[in-house]
Amino acid sequence: MSDGSIPTIVTGLRHGFRQGITRPEAWRRGQLEALRRMLQERASDFEAALAADLGKSGTEAQLTEIGFVIGEVDHALAHLSSWMRPRRVTAPPAIQPASARIVPEPLGVALIIAPWNYPLMLALSPLVGAIAAGDAAIVKPSELAPATSAALALLVPQYLDRRAIAIVEGGAEETAELLAQRFDHIFYTGGGRVGRIVARAAAEHLTPITLELGGKSPAYVDGTVAPAAAAKRIAWAKFLNAGQTCVAPDYVLGTRETLDRLAPASAGAIHDLYGNAVRRNPDYGRIVNDAHFERLVSYLGDGEIVAGGGRDAAERFIEPTVLSVADRDSAVMRDEIFGPVLPLVEVADLDDAIDFVAGRDKPLAAYVFSDDAGVRQRWTAETSSGALTFGAPILHLTVPDLPFGGVGESGQGAYHGERSFRVFSHEKAVLAKPLTPDTLGPTIMPPFTGRKDRLVRQWLGRLR
Ligand code: NAD
Q: What would the pLDDT profile of 191-250 be if each residue is shown by its tens digit?
A: 999 999 999 999 999 999 999 999 999 999 999 999 999 999 999 999 999 999 999 999
| 364 CA distance to ligand 1 middle (Å) | 15
pTM of the model: 0.96
Main-chain phi, psi angles of 264, to 5 degrees: -65, -30
Q: What is the mean pLDDT of residues 49-60?
A: 96
Question: pLDDT-based confidence at 461, cuts 50/70/90?
Answer: confident
What residue spans of 335-449 are helical by DSSP H?
Answer: 350-358, 373-382, 417-423
User: Is 212 one of the annotated active-site residues of the chain?
Assistant: yes
Measured between alpha carbons, how far is 377 from 303 in angstroms, rounded to an integer?
A: 32
Q: What is the mean pLDDT of residues 7-14?
A: 98
Contact (Cβ atoms closer than 8 angstroms) between residue 70 and residue 39: yes
Q: What is the DSSP string of 290-337?
A: HHHHHHHHHHGGGSEEEE---EETTTTEE--EEEEE--TTSHHHHS--
Question: pLDDT-based confidence at 4, cuts 50/70/90?
Answer: confident
Kindly report which listed range (93-102, 178-187, 336-345) carries the lowest average pLDDT score: 93-102
Measured between alpha carbons, how far is 394 from 236 in angstroms, rounded to an integer?
A: 10
- The phi-psi region of residue 411 (left if phi > 0; otherwise alpha if psi is between -120 and 50; otherwise beta) is left
Measured between alpha carbons, how far is 269 from 119 in angstroms, rounded to an integer?
A: 27
Which of 179, 194, 407 is the best mutation target for the ligand 1 pocket, counting ligand atoms within 8 Å of the beta carbon and taking the most?
A: 194
Contact (Cβ atoms closer than 8 angstroms) between residue 303 and residue 330: yes
CA distances from 136 to 16, 70, 160, 424 (A): 8, 20, 11, 10
User: Is 418 one of the annotated active-site residues of the chain?
Assistant: no
Q: What is the mean pLDDT of residues 68-97?
A: 96
How confident is the prediction for the chain on average, in pLDDT? 97
Which domains, and CATH codes, for the chain? Answer: 5-213+414-425 (3.40.605.10), 218-405 (3.40.309.10), 434-463 (no CATH)
Q: Is the pLDDT of residue 1 over 60?
A: no
Q: Single out the catalytic residue among 246, 336, 346, 418.
A: 246
Q: What is the mean pLDDT of residues 127-142?
A: 98
Looking only at the bridges linking them, the beta strands covering 209-212 and 411-412 are antiparallel
Q: Is the pLDDT of residue 463 over 70?
A: no
The SS3 call for residue 345 is strand
CB count within 10 Å of CB 115 equals 23
pLDDT of residue 343: 98
Contact (Cβ atoms closer than 8 angstroms) between residue 451 and residue 445: no
* pLDDT tens profile 415-450: 999 999 999 999 999 999 999 999 999 989 999 999
Measured from CB, residues less than 6 Å from any atom of ligand 1 are: 113-117, 122, 140, 142-144, 171-172, 175-176, 189-191, 194, 197, 212-214, 246, 336, 338, 364, 406, 411
pLDDT of residue 464: 64
pLDDT of residue 94: 84
To the nearest whole percent, how much of the chain has pLDDT over 70? 99
What residue spans of 142-221 are helical by DSSP H?
Answer: 146-159, 172-180, 192-204
| Buried-exposed string 288-304: b where 16+ CB fall within 10 A, e elsewhere | beeebbebbbebbebbe
pLDDT of residue 459: 83
| 335 CA distance to ligand 1 middle (Å) | 15
* pLDDT tens profile 389-421: 999 999 999 999 999 999 999 999 999 999 999
Question: pLDDT-based confidence at 150, cuts 50/70/90?
Answer: very high
The SS3 call for residue 185 is strand
| 142 CA distance to ligand 1 middle (Å) | 8
The SS3 call for residue 104 is strand
Q: What is the mean pLDDT of residues 41-63?
A: 97
Q: Is the pLDDT of residue 149 over 90?
A: yes
To the nearest whole percent, how much of the chain has pLDDT over 90? 96
Question: pLDDT-based confidence at 44, cuts 50/70/90?
Answer: very high
Q: Single out the catalytic residue among 212, 319, 336, 409.
A: 212
Question: pLDDT-based confidence at 93, cuts 50/70/90?
Answer: confident
| 190 CA distance to ligand 1 middle (Å) | 3
